Amino acid sequence: MVFSERLKSDEELALLWREMNAMKAKSNLPLELPPPCFHDMQGEFLRYSSRKAILVSFPVLAKQLNPIGVMQGGYIAAAFDNTLGPLSYLAAQKPAVTLDMTQTYLRAARLDETLYCEAEVITRGLKTLYMTASLVDTRGKLVATAQTQILIL
């Protein structure tokens, strides 16, 4: 993990928004960063290391529960995507798309918990990024992990 604490840093978050706004301004695409699905999941940026790592929180909401009352795996995957996606755009400084993403589910996430998703860029090439992420609950227990390859457009 890149971040040793989960407190908001105003300086880091200001940098995040400056870089997102610069990304939008220089793109010829109608970018909405963060995307509507990020807001739908009530994501909140907590920490940011420029072009290297990001920490985002997501509450577990009732609408995200499966029939046995825990967060559905697809929402866990969406939490990863809503963390890795913005970081990939910022790291590449261009739009990027996911080539593949693999998740490993380790423990259930329950209603009213907050999950913390930390993603980092492991390798940056000319056309691709390789990134990993981990999702932990409020007790610091690992809920899931993910890895992805991103194509820079």
pLDDT at 129 > cutoff 60: yes
CA distance 69 to 52: 35
Q: Is the pTM for the entire model greater than 0.85?
A: yes
pLDDT at 94 > cutoff 80: yes
- What was the pLDDT predicted at 3? 44
Which one is predicted more confidently, 128 or 94? 128
> Which tokens go with 6?
């989960």
Per-residue pLDDT tens for 9-64?
A: 788 899 999 999 998 888 888 888 899 999 999 999 999 999 999 999 999 999 99
> Which tokens go with 39?
């807001």
- What was the pLDDT predicted at 5? 53
The residue ranges of every structural domain in the chain are: 10-152
Superfamily of domain 10-152: Hotdog Thioesterase (3.10.129.10)
CA distance 125 to 47: 24
pLDDT at 2 > cutoff 60: no
Helix axes 10-26, 73-92, angle to 10 degrees: 70
User: HEC states along 77-125?
Assistant: HHHHHHHHHHHHHHHHCCCEEEEEEEEEECCCCECCCEEEEEEEEEEEC
Residues forming beta bridges with residue 44, ordered by sequence position: 57
Distance of CA 138 to the CA centre of its chain: 17
